[in-house]
Chain A
Amino acid sequence: MSATTLQLPGRPLADERVSLAEELRTVGMVWEREAIRFFRTRARVLSSFIQPVLFLFVLGYGMGGLVGSTAGFDFKKFLFPGIVAMTVMSTALSSAISIVWDREFGFLREMLVAPVSRTSLVSGKTLGGASIATVQGTIMLALAPAIGVRLSWLVVLKVIGLELLMAVTMTAFGVFVASHIRRMEGFSVVMQLLLFPMLFLSGALFPLSGLPSWLTVLTRINPLTYAVAPLRSIVFAAQHMPPAAATKFSSTVTLFGTTLSNAACVGIACGFAVVFLGLAVAGFGRPD
C-alpha cells in the first residue's frame, strides 16, 4: 500500500453513518454536562449576578443624577434592558471557559476521539452555555418592579427569545475564541478585553446616538448592537413613555442611513450567530 492511497479522505461506510437521533442525543448530553457543571460551582452562579446588579444600581443612581429624568422616565429605566443584556452576554461569554478547562484537564480528548461530529459537540456546548445565560438574564427580570419597569408575560416571552439569540451568538463567539487559547489565565484576560468593549459599544449602557463616527462604525460591527436594540424597544414599548423620553433614550439602530426594524435587527443578529457557530465548529478541537 503506498502512502498516496493513505492520504484519501476518510469516508464512512453507509452503515457507519451516525443517525441524526444519535447526534441529537450527543447534543443533549453535552448540554446536560454544561448545566451540571455550572450549578455545581455556586461561586459562578453568584458572581454572574453581582456585576449586573452593581451596574444597575450604582451606575443607575450615579449617572441618573447627571442625566436626570425626562418626563418621569429616568436613567435606571433606560439602563434596565441593557443590564439584562449584559448579564446574558457576560455569562454566555464566560461559559466558554469550559473549553479551556476541558483542554487543560484532558477531557477534550475524550470528546474528540469519540465517533461523533464536532458540530454536535459544539452545538451542545453552545446551547448549554446559552441556556445558562438565558436563565440568568431572565432571573434579572425579577428586579423590574424595583425600578418601576412594567413587564407583561408576552414581553417576558419576547425578551427570553432575544436573550437566547444573544446568548447563542456570544457563547459561539466564546467557544471560537476559547478554542485558540491554551491556558486558563489567558482566557480571563482575553475575555475581559473582549467583554467590555463589546458591552460599551452595544448600546446596553448608553444610547449610541451622538457618538463620533469612528465609534459609530465599531458599534455597527458589534453583533450585540443588533440584539440590544430590539430588546430595549420591546421593553420600552410596554412602558408609558413620554415622546420626549423616547427621543432622548433612542433605541433604534440606523445602518447606511436607514433605520432598522426589530425584525431586521434580529435577522442580522441571527446572521452573526450562524457565522460564529461556523467559526466555533471549525476552531473546535484543533490539534495542540
Chain B
Amino acid sequence: MASIKTASRERAAGSPCSTAGAGPAVEVTSLHKKYGALEAVKGVSFSIERGEVFAFLGPNGAGKTTTVGMLCTLTRPSGGHASVAGFDVARQPEAVRRRIGLVFQEQTLDDRLTAEQNLRFHAVLYHVPRAQVKARIDRVLRLVALEDRRHDLVSTFSGGMARRLEIARGMLHTPVVLFLDEPTVGLDPQTRTLVWDDVLRLRREEQMTIFLTTHYMDEAEYADRVAIIDHGQIVATGTPDELKRRVGADTVELVTADDAAAAARLEGAGFRVRRGEEELVIAAEDGEAAVPRLIDAAGVRVRSVDVHHPTLDDVFLHYTGRQIRDEHAGPALPPRARARTARR
C-alpha cells in the first residue's frame, strides 16, 4: 500500500497559490461552514498528497458532503482556508474547477444521450483539446470497461453502469483530484466491488489523487488514508492500519476441550486471557503468528481458532462512542468477513 504514495511527495518551495504542479493535492486549514445557527463543518484541517486515495468516513450528516462542496467551489466556506491543486477555492474557483473531477451522490448524466455523447459534452465543457477528445474517451471507457456500450443510450444502463460512466467522465479531463461523494451508495455489494475495482485501477494507471466520502466501513479500508468525521469535526486521521492499531491489538478466540485448564496455563505463559461464554479471548500483537504458540501453551485439545483484527467499526466506536451501522440500513458485509478483507 505504501508504494502508491511515492508518486509525488515533494513540496513546492514557493507560494502554493502560484504553482500548480507541485505540493499537496489538497490542503485544508480550519475550514468552517455555518448555515445560520447550524455549524455543519466545525474547523477541519487535513492535507492530501498527490496520488493518494483519501477517504472521509462518517455517518450521514457528519459534514462530508458540505466539505466536498467547499473544496469543489460549490459552497462558499464561512471561514478557514482550502486549496486544491495549489489554487485557493474561494479566490480562484475557476482555476480549481478546471482541475477537479466530480462525481456527485445523485446521478448527473443525460440519459437521453449515449455514453459517448455524454462524454463528448463533458470534454467540450472542460476544454479537452479537440485532437485528444477521441483518445481520452476511448481511454476512460476502457478504464471502466464500458467500451462496448459507448453507443448505447444511458437510459438503458443499470445503476452501477451509470455510476461507472460518471467516474469515467470525472476522469475525462485528467483532473488533479477526483472527488467522489458516496460513490457506491445505493448499489448492490457486487456492483460496489466493480466500482471499487475501477477506482483502484484509476489510481494505479493514472496516478490520480482521489478524495471520496463514504459511510461504509469496508470501503474506507481501500483508502490509503482515512479521516473519521463526526458532527463536523475530524476525530482521527491515519492509514486504516494505523487507526486500527491505535484502538487495540488483535484478539484470538480459542474453543478448547477444557477452558479452565487452558486459561490457567496460558496466563502462566504470560498471555492476557479473558473467559467468554464458550471461548477464551486472548489479546495478541499479531494474531496469526501467535496461534501456534497459543495452542502449544494451552496444553489441552483445541477445537477451533478464530483470529479477530480490529476493524474500522472498532475505530469508529472508539472515537465516537457509537457504531456507524446504527445509523443506516445500507448493505454491509458481516463484521467477520470485513476483518478478513482488511488484511489481504
Contacts and interface: CB of A to CB of B under 8 A. Distances in A.
Contacts, number: 94
B342 interface: no
Contacts of B104: 106, 109
B136 to A, nearest CB: 15
Given A6-B77, A29-B124, A113-B72, A106 B113 contact: no
Given A1-B80, A106-B104, A113 B111 contact: no
A interface bracket (residues with beta carbon within 8 Å of B): 20 to 34
Contacts of A196: none
B286 interface: no
Interface stretch (A7-15, A136-144, A228-236, A262-270): A7-15
Given A1-B80, A6-B90, A113-B74, A16 B120 contact: no
B188 interface: no
A110 B113 contact: no
B95 interface: yes
B29 interface: yes
Contact of B108 (A7, A11, A22, A110): A110
Contacts of B79: 2-3, 6
Given A8-B90, A18-B127, A25-B124, A115 B113 contact: no
Contacts of A16: 92, 94-95, 98
A256 interface: no
A106 B29 contact: no
A26 B112 contact: no
Nearest to B169: A110
A37 B113 contact: yes
B121 interface: yes
B102 A113 contact: yes
A16 B102 CA distance: 19
A137 B77 CA distance: 49
A2 B77 CA distance: 11
Interface in A30-54: 33, 36-37, 40-41
A1 B117 contact: no
A8 B125 contact: no
Contact of A116 (B81, B91, B125): B125
Report the contact-size class of chain B (Cβ under 8 Å from the partner): 35 or more
B126 A114 contact: yes
A226 to B, nearest CB: 35
Contacts of B5: none
B95 A29 contact: no
Interface in A69-118: 102, 105-107, 109-111, 113-116
Contacts of B106: 106
A172 to B, nearest CB: 21
Contact of B127 (A3, A105, A113, A115): A115
A41 B110 CA distance: 14
B97 interface: yes
Contacts of A115: 94, 97-98, 125-127
Contacts of B72: 113
B286 to A, nearest CB: 45
Contacts of B81: 1, 6
A26 B108 contact: no
B78 interface: yes
A36 B78 contact: no
A3 B77 CA distance: 8
A107 B94 contact: no
B150 interface: no
A149 B324 CA distance: 75
B110 A109 contact: no
A116 B125 CA distance: 6
A106 B106 CA distance: 7
A114 B80 contact: no
Nearest to B125: A114
B290 interface: no
Contacts of B108: 105-107, 109-110
Given A16-B95, A105-B110, A33 B121 contact: yes
A28 B120 CA distance: 12
A40 B117 CA distance: 13
B338 interface: no
Nearest to B17: A13
- A-B pairs with lowest CB-CB distance, top 10: A114-B125, A29-B124, A106-B108, A12-B94, A110-B108, A6-B90, A1-B81, A115-B97, A3-B79, A10-B93
16 contacts: A8-B90, A10-B73, A11-B91, A12-B94, A12-B95, A16-B94, A25-B127, A26-B125, A107-B108, A109-B104, A110-B108, A110-B109, A110-B125, A115-B94, A115-B98, A115-B127
